[in-house]
């Protein structure tokens, strides 16, 4: 096992700059995922660590040894490729033991190490088969077995699961993770699939156009994306971005969307602000803003809705199962504890990092307007209600007065704050709510 340290690593193919100065540290035993859109340079960086690409500029160290000019075989790394790269004329056992044979190890040792790796990967019964006699998942395991028998200091994975079907991918994802937990070998794993990175890695490096956008633990990136690119890349379905402005400490967007903007760190008037809200952090609530349902997808465990608010497309993701169809109306509002604000021009985060959703993080700053003064002009509440004013109701909802005030700022009634689904069929005054308690609207 070893650390891997990259310093100002650069690479160009001809005049095309592919890597523009990469600094990444992989700790001993850590599992780091390199993610980013196609062509951002992930594979090139991995191949440079493996020694398969020259380094134009910068330093790569493995176990504190500068390896810029060390040939691949002497770097003590093992790479697992997307296409597995198995030798078709060799059995599973010979494929797995081939590198040890090349290294001149005695046959007895090779047999023992192959048997041990096969046992870990559940390949013991397949050792005499040829690659063509294996399923995709089994071939993938052989490719991993070939890396394991070498007992390298570092594993390098280049999109190893992308040739597998969705179900097998999920299964192999868990197997690779379990393998890492067992062996604790330092691992660098390239994928364009952010779910894979989120579920497997200790640390994620988000890349774009040959540079690093952000490095952090999976949930750090999810909770505190530094810019719109990372915010949009991490999380599925992707974060909603709603353009608007901030006035008197509140964000205002299309369809009279209003949200407390204390996390933006801006109280005064500011145009060109983007509110970021994840689909799973939208609440369906009768006190919310009306949206038209465009698409409904139900997986059984989740409901996905594509919504339209004044031409703005919004993704919603919830756990409720609903009878609802295109053209129906719902009312939504952002969870006030899970808001992100960005500068529309630079894409950079505004103000303090977003909260992780912990209750204490949703408490308002003393400077926020009271619910009785919901802003003026274009900042007026679309609901025109005085929310959360009844102390008994707040107590019943288990909310302190401060928390109730934040909820009220986005129009959530403290006594009616329930994430269950309320929706309306059709629109206009005749509309009635067809599920959930409370008055028809
Ligand atoms: N041998 C090469 N010659 C010229 N350009 C190359 C070469 N290899 C890669 N590139 C270019 O370098 C850029 C980065 O490629 P790389 O394969 O590292 O991207 P990636 O992030 O791994 O993409 P993907 O997810 O599609 O595999 C791309 O624009 C690619 O076209």
Chunked mean pLDDT (size 10), the chain, 441 residues: 93 93 97 95 96 92 95 91 87 93 92 91 92 89 89 92 82 87 94 92 96 96 96 94 90 87 71 94 91 94 94 93 90 91 93 48 27 30 30 31 31 32 34 31 27
Q: What is the pLDDT of residue 410?
A: 33
**41 CA: nearest ligand 1 atom:** 18
Residue 43 Cα to ligand 1 middle (Å): 7
Q: What is the pLDDT of residue 158?
A: 93
Residue 340 Cα to ligand 1 middle (Å): 32
For residue 327, the tally of other CB atoms under 10 A from its CB is: 11
**192 CA: nearest ligand 1 atom:** 25
Residue 164 Cα to ligand 1 middle (Å): 22
Helix (H) or strand (E) holding 155: strand 154-158
Residue minimizing CA distance to atom 28 of ligand 1: 39
Q: What is the pLDDT of residue 353?
A: 53
Cα–Cα distance measured from residue 9 to residue 190, given in angstroms and rounded to the nearest whole number: 17
Q: What is the pLDDT of residue 84?
A: 80
Residue 13 Cα to ligand 1 middle (Å): 9
Selection from 266, 320, 263 nearest residue 296 by Cα: 320
Residue minimizing CA distance to atom 7 of ligand 1: 13
Cα–Cα distance measured from residue 143 to residue 202, given in angstroms and rounded to the nearest whole number: 23
Asked whether the bond before 237 is cis by omega within 30 degrees of 0, the reply is yes
Q: What is the pLDDT of residue 130?
A: 95
Q: What is the pLDDT of residue 433?
A: 31
Distances in Å between the alpha carbon of 238 and those of 127, 194, 250?
A: 43, 11, 24
Residue minimizing CA distance to atom 31 of ligand 1: 39
- Could you tell me how far CA 214 lies from the centroid of its own chain? 12
Sign of CA dihedral 88, 91, 97, 101: negative
- Kindly list the structural domains of the chain, giving each domain's residue range(s) and its CATH number in brackets, ordered by start: 4-232 (3.40.50.300), 237-424 (2.40.50.100)
Ligand 1 test: best mutation among 9, 16, 17, 18, most atoms within 8 Å of CB? 18
Residue 173 Cα to ligand 1 middle (Å): 24
What is this structure's pTM?
A: 0.77
Q: What is the pLDDT of residue 263?
A: 67
Q: What share of the chain is helix, strand, coil (3-state, %, to 5)?
A: 30, 30, 40
Pocket of ligand 1 (CB under 6 A): 13, 18, 36, 38-44, 192
Helix (H) or strand (E) holding 211: strand 211-216
Q: What is the pLDDT of residue 277?
A: 96
């Amino acid at each position: 096992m070893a650390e891997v340290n990259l310093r100002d690593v650069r690479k160009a193919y001809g005049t095309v700059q592919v890597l523009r100065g990469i600094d990444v540290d992989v700790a001993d035993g850590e599992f780091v995922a390199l993610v980013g859109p196609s062509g951002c340079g992930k594979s090139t960086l991995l191949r440079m660590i493996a020694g398969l690409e020259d380094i134009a500029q910068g330093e790569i160290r493995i176990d504190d040894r500068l390896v810029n000019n060390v040939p691949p075989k002497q770097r003590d790394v093992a790479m697992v490729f997307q296409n597995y790269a198995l030798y078709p004329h060799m059995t599973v056992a010979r494929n797995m033991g081939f590198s040890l044979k090349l290294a001149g190890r005695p046959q007895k040792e090779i047999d023992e190490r192959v048997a041990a790796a096969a046992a870990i990967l559940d390949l013991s019964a397949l050792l005499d088969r040829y690659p063509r006699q294996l399923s995709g998942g089994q071939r993938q395991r052989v490719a991993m077995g070939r890396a394991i028998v070498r007992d390298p200091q570092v594993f390098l994975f280049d999109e190893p699961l992308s040739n597998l079907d969705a179900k097998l991918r999920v299964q192999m994802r868990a197997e690779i993770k379990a393998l890492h937990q067992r062996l604790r070998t330092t691992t660098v794993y390239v994928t364009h699939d952010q779910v894979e990175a989120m579920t497997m890695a200790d640390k994620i490096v988000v890349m774009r156009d040959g540079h690093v956008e952000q490095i952090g633990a999976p949930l750090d990136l999810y909770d505190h994306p530094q810019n719109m690119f990372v915010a949009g890349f991490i999380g599925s379905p992707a974060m909603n971005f709603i353009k608007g402005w901030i006035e008197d400490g509140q964000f205002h967007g299309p369809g009279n969307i209003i949200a407390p903007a204390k996390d933006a760190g801006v109280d005064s008037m500011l145009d060109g602000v983007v509110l970021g809200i994840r689909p799973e952090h939208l609440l369906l609530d009768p006190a919310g803003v009306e949206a038209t349902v465009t698409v409904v997808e139900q997986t059984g465990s989740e409901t996905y809705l594509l919504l339209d608010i004044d031409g703005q497309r919004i993704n919603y993701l919830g756990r409720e199962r609903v009878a609802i169809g295109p053209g129906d109306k719902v009312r939504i509002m952002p969870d006030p504890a899970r808001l992100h604000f960005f500068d529309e021009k630079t894409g950079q985060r505004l103000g303090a990092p977003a909260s992780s959703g912990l209750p204490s993080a949703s408490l308002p700053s003393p400077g926020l307007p009271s619910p009785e003064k919901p802003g003026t002009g274009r900042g007026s509440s679309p609901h025109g209600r005085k929310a959360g004013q009844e102390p008994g109701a707040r107590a019943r909802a288990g909310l302190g007065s401060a928390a109730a005030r934040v909820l009220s700022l986005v129009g959530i009634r403290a006594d009616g704050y329930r994430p269950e689904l309320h929706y309306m069929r059709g629109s206009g005054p005749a509309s009635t709510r067809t599920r959930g308690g409370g008055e028809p609207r």
